[in-house]
Homo-oligomer: A and B are copies of this chain.
Amino acid sequence: MSRLIRKVSFQSPVIRHVRSVGSAPPTKKYTPRRALMYVPGNDERKVAKIPKLGADCICLDCEDGVSINKKLEARTNIRRILDERSVDFGQSECSVRVNSVESGLCEEDLKAVLGGNNLPMALHLPKVDEPDQLIWFAEKLNEFLLHQGKAVSPIGLIIFIESARALMRLPEICEQASLLRTMCPIIPEALVFGSDDFVADIGATRTPEARELLYARQKLVTVAKAFQLQAIDLVHIDYKDLEGLKVQSAEGARMGFTGKQVIHPGQVSVVQAAFAPSQDRIEWATQLIKEFREHEANGHGAFTFRGSMIDMPLVKQAQNIVDMKDKL
């Protein structure tokens, strides 16, 4: 059994439809997602390759990678993969992308994906344009998970930003997302920049240098980090151009993205290298955490480290780097 598929335990319904206000919000271990790879849920040939992909996050897709007349097949197959644990995800996170709230397909997707005893580690919700779509999503999630009396550990939520409207309303979308964990067993963890839908929506044309997307990418990184979310960068569609992929990945990492979408197995290792912390960063983080623990033991909060005042956010960043190093 893959260790990253959650096991649902049937218990008395201790988790209620709406968590009581005073209860602590759910927490979940940090999952680095340097390379987020799509595998169409209905494509048996590609599903069979999962054990060898090595991507940090495998996204079993019900959405854009699946044609309209294969939707039922995709969601049924994904449910079977979860139920039978027949596919070895190894170190990869097992996650599922459902169709968008607006598509009219999302409810059936959730019903299938959440209907069994094993749940994915994370759900991807594409084409989020309005905060209200997240409320609908949370209600559906509770409907399928909780009325059966299932007690689940929280599921990660990965939100796709793919339109002008979504980018414009991004702070409100993230504000609503941050409230979800009080409503249902969901923890928002990442924003994904759906660049090609975005480009179509604003009528732009992609260039190799992607100057036309600077505003969108940098706003997405900023808002993601303001809400402590991961930021996952655009797809490099020309999957044979590994040199271009390397350049684009490095730039994304410099901008503050934490990972990148990949569409071909050959892209995984290039992307992972670009989004892995360098030796310098690992040394910085390790030493910072060591000194933080010493200061904490002595009752000090903020302290100076290599000329910078260190407080909790920086300690958390350092911890993320060390966590990522530990996982690699």
Interface residues of A (CB under 8 A from B): 40, 63-70, 102-104, 162-165, 167-169, 171, 194, 196-205, 207, 211-212, 214-216, 218-219, 221-226, 235, 237-240, 251, 253-256, 258, 263-264, 295-296, 299-304, 307-309, 311-314, 316-317, 320
Contact = CB atoms under 8 A, between A and B. Distances in A.
Most buried by B among A67, A253, A255, A295: A67
A64 B222 contact: no
A63 B301 CA distance: 9
A224 B164 CA distance: 8
A162 B218 CA distance: 15
B311 A64 contact: yes
Nearest to A199: B317
A255 B199 CA distance: 9
A200 B313 contact: yes
Contact of A66 (B69, B198, B238, B301): B301
B203 A256 contact: yes
Given A263-B309, A317-B203, A40 B301 contact: yes
Given A214-B218, A216-B218, A254-B204, A313 B199 contact: yes
B204 A68 contact: no
Contact of A226 (B164, B197, B200): B164
Contacts of A308: 64, 196, 200, 237-239
A129 B324 CA distance: 25
Nearest to A295: B67
A255 B197 contact: no
B223 A67 contact: no
Given A67-B299, A199-B317, A309 B237 contact: yes
A65 B256 CA distance: 26
B218 A311 contact: no
Contact of A65 (B40, B66, B311): B311
Contacts of A214: 211, 214-215, 218
Contacts of A312: 64, 197
A70 B300 CA distance: 8
Contact of A313 (B201, B207, B219, B239): B201
Contacts of A204: 221, 254-256
A63 B171 CA distance: 30
Given A222-B164, A308-B237, A67 B255 contact: no
A222 B215 contact: yes
Contact of A68 (B65, B203, B215, B302): B302
Given A68-B300, A168-B226, A215-B215, 7 more contacts: A40-B302, A167-B226, A202-B225, A203-B258, A203-B317, A204-B254, A215-B218
A226 B67 contact: no
Contacts of A66: 301
Given A103-B302, A204-B256, A223 B68 contact: no
A167 B218 CA distance: 11
A314 B196 contact: yes
A317 B200 contact: yes
Contacts of A240: 307
Contacts of A203: 225, 256, 258, 317, 320
